Chains A and B, each alone.
Chain A
């Protein structure tokens, strides 16, 4: 019994090293979400900028749209934010924000500081909607097609390469589908 107590530390560290090794080699790749090709889960949340107005999933109907889950406390969000600023200037596809577990005041200050690319932002203070949407962490980005179904989900921050090679092509393909 005592022997095991002494061996435990090296076992724990062994597991840690294995995870680090995987972390170094494995590329974060696309994960199938159970929500892919399902209608986006219903929600009803106050708007961040105008708390007396409610936002619902019906807002997404009729056109391809993007939902970006973010928070002011999230460091990777700051990394991908310039991409969204660029998106808002260059694309007609509307970008919606889901402000996740965040104080509205902090979120607004963050937007004032870094710029606000969102058409509208739903404020999910308790994180319940995040659970419905299967949010693992922040940031995450969903692409929703014209019929209101989730078609793609990106976990983690987008970088210029994944934006160019993966994200934009998917959105463009959906635009063509809805146009056809």
Chain B
């Protein structure tokens, strides 16, 4: 009964979403105020029914109702409760439902917090978001209905994919989707600007916090994915340039470009058409990511169930939204073009460079990801463009970006001042050189790694310079949350680059074959393999190894890498055991048993790998901080009084 209610609620939500799109947009086009005003109640109705549908599916999982096909394929009666709740988004159908739910959350946020928007803009924004909701609700209903029954019900379910039974994976998809879906807000604002033909500083100010917030979520999502892969795949890597990873990374790169170009649009009224194009592209790439992951056109370690009819549907959604928005862009964007002098040595000039590098980097990733697909489309088979391509292309494109960050606060809008720049960048440069030289003296040497350290420290010191100066001088000028957010994010970038450089430079790994009781020396540590014991989990059996790590006779850690065999079958899963410290990780994963009771063990020592995720986390925090700046809220209050006055005059 409950699943049927969920299905019914989903149908209602789709209908309401259609109206949420049609009524306000036709209201804007035909200038009917009442139709525009319907946007808000329709949006609330749509979201409420989506929540009911989602709740119904969750209920089916909690009660492990195997007569629902989706539950039968993604749950097991022994599955622990919190995995039952997260299993809702463990498969294709449920993750689509989660996608729509997230879109609903954003819709409510936008509708609730942006009531100060001019009514026609607000109505267009909600209308476009309604169209996106409607498309994905139809996609769910027509090709991937999670409420489909399976009669007779099987006695036992097939269990959640063991790869997904990990705490990191519980929050990874929701975060990622919050990011993907969040770009639909920027997209909706861009389309609203194209429809109305108005794009001014106020528009940029409305769009900025949403974009930054979506970007922060996406950052956290990607970070969690990377962290999960590191823990779970047992290869000791943190990024694999896998198509699915790339699918989330491309919108991130374009989103980063968008955040920066929005700043120029707000402050200087430039790059308007470009900003709109970026907003469309960020969402287009989010849709593309969904297409690549869901249609199975590319081979990936994330082997999701694939179905060509779904691919066709996502492609239609992609064509409709991206094609439609770009058509509007081709017709309307000409009026956003401004003739204004741009000096390269100015903040906007540097941000232009930032945008160029970020866009080209995103394009390079897109090319590498799609190249196998092009070859496939020409009938030449499926193949893989591996890390060799990405490593070769990506670093040269991103290193200049890190260099640019250091100038962020030292170069002013309109026209930079050389003497000011010289004054302000002297200390950061000195700090960077000192640190790079010190590191080289301690043995971290090499052209690549030293350059990366130099850039990373320069970036961090440059980001810190401005807040330090303001604090030390006790100047009247107070830094707002937006500036603190930027500072934090830029420091995060430096921390991240430092982590990547040292992990790439100093990681050492070894595969050893050890009999129980044997010890191996590696990277200054002694690894004693005590043995392997059999253990039982709630829905799996495991081989649990015990490895005692010591240094100079002193115990460092006891690690228990596992190999789990889920009872419902499938490949055994590797659970690496990691001794975490800020400066290095010791990572042990259990390989295969070999003759004579020996096991293959993979040992890694990875310097500063925590810095990679800490840096990403700092970026995300910085973004969240900037999104809540007073400026954005003040603006909306001021606008509200204006509209209120206008309304009273109208009355």
Contacts and interface: CB of A to CB of B under 8 A. Distances in A.
B591 A14 contact: no
Interface string A1-35: 01100110110011011011111111111010000
Contacts of B386: 71, 73-75, 101, 138
A109 B299 contact: no
Interface in B314-335: 315, 318-319, 322-323, 326-327, 329-330, 333-334
Interface stretch (B8-16, B58-66, B373-381): B373-381
A71 B385 CA distance: 11
Nearest to B337: A2
A155 interface: yes
B127 to A, nearest CB: 21
Contacts of A20: 291, 297, 315, 318, 373, 377
Contacts of A113: 591-592, 600
A24 B377 CA distance: 8
B421 interface: no
B201 to A, nearest CB: 22
Interface string B371-395: 0111111011111111110000000
Nearest to B241: A73
B299 A76 contact: yes
Contacts of B5: none
Interface string A88-132: 000000000000010000001100110000000000000000000
A45 B323 CA distance: 50
Contact of B377 (A26, A136, A139): A26
B624 to A, nearest CB: 31
Interface in B284-317: 284, 291, 295, 297, 299-301, 303, 308, 311-312, 315
Nearest to B292: A20
Given A6-B333, A79-B299, A14 B379 contact: no
Contact of A13 (B284, B303, B372, B383): B284
A157 interface: yes
B375 A137 contact: yes
Contact of A101 (B273, B372, B388): B388
Nearest to A24: B311
Interface in A126-174: 136-140, 154-157
B369 to A, nearest CB: 12
A6 B273 contact: yes
Given A73-B388, A137-B385, A23 B380 contact: no
A17 B383 contact: no
Given A6-B333, A73-B388, A112-B600, A138 B383 contact: yes
A23 B376 contact: yes
A9 B274 CA distance: 11
A48 interface: no
A77 interface: yes
Nearest to A154: B381
Interface residues of A, number: 44
Contacts of B382: 28, 76, 155-157
Contact of A24 (B315, B337, B370, B380): B315
B117 interface: no
Given A9-B326, A10-B326, A24 B381 contact: no
A28 B298 CA distance: 12
Interface residues of B, number: 51
Given A17-B318, A138-B384, A156-B382, A6 B373 contact: no
Contacts of A13: 284, 322-323, 326
Contacts of B330: 6-7, 9-10
A165 B333 CA distance: 54
B381 A136 contact: yes
Contacts of B509: 109
B326 A2 contact: no
Contacts of B280: 9
B190 to A, nearest CB: 12
A75 B319 contact: no
Nearest to B600: A112
Given A75-B300, A75-B301, A113-B592, A28 B379 contact: yes
Contacts of A138: 383-384, 386
A16 B363 CA distance: 13
10 contacts: A6-B329, A9-B326, A9-B329, A24-B311, A28-B381, A74-B384, A75-B242, A136-B375, A154-B381, A155-B381
Given A6-B333, A13-B326, A113-B591, 16 more contacts: A9-B277, A9-B326, A10-B329, A13-B323, A17-B318, A20-B291, A21-B312, A23-B377, A26-B379, A28-B376, A31-B379, A76-B384, A77-B384, A101-B386, A112-B600, A136-B375
